[in-house]
């Protein structure tokens, strides 16, 4: 379910641009939430990808729970936009994944443990 690519060419050969992207937040922690939400980009090589035909929203939505949206609201994973999860939310997400153990959870947990070294992570919708 979760994919990592060595280059953008490899990602394009796999399936074009129809991916959810789980992206490390590399902004500093002293920035406002509004600024953090403006700093995501697309197609990072250290991101984790889920092809759009996989059930990320229905299977993993409850595991990710509420995150932050660019309109400064907190809510469920937005499959068409950006959802940001703070660093201190990662352990709870890992715990929910360990409890339900959906397809690919081991890959996700490994990546989330890496995300603890950053200012959280974004999920960029399809």
Predicted pLDDT at 86 = 96
Residue 83 pLDDT class (50, 70, 90 cuts):
very high
* Reported pTM: 0.92
Report, as an integer, the average pLDDT of 34-56: 88
88 Cβ contact list (under 8 Å, min separation 6): 120
Token readout for 116 is 């603890």
Is the predicted pLDDT of residue 126 greater than 90, yes or no?
Answer: no
| DSSP line for the chain | -EE--SSHHHHHHHHTT-EEEEEE--S-TTS-HHHHHT---S--TT-EEEETTS-IIIIIHHHH--EE-TTS-EES--TTSEEEE-GGGHHHHHHHHHHH--TTHHHHHHHHHHHTTTT-EEEE--
- pLDDT tens for each residue of 87-121: 999 999 999 999 999 999 999 999 999 999 999 99
The Cα 111–Cα 23 span in angstroms is 10
Report, as an integer, the average pLDDT of 79-85: 94
Contact 79, 126 (CB under 8 A): yes
Is the predicted pLDDT of residue 16 greater than 80, yes or no?
Answer: no
Q: Which residue has the higher pLDDT, 31 or 126?
A: 31
Is the predicted pLDDT of residue 59 greater than 80, yes or no?
Answer: yes
Predicted pLDDT at 14 = 86
Per-domain residue ranges for the chain?
2-98+109-124
């Amino acid at each position: 379910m979760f994919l990592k690519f060595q280059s953008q060419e490899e990602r394009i050969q796999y399936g074009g641009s129809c991916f959810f992207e789980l992206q490390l937040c590399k902004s500093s922690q002293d920035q406002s939430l509004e600024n953090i939400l403006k700093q995501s980009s697309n197609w990072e090589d250290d991101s984790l990808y889920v092809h759009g035909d996989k059930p990320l929203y229905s299977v993993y939505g409850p595991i990710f729970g509420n995150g932050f949206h660019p309109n400064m609201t907190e809510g469920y994973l937005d499959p068409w936009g950006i959802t940001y999860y703070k660093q201190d939310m990662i352990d709870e997400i890992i715990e929910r994944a360990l409890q339900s153990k959906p397809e690919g959870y081991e890959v996700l947990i490994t990546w989330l443990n890496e995300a603890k070294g950053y200012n959280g992570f974004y999920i960029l919708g399809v």
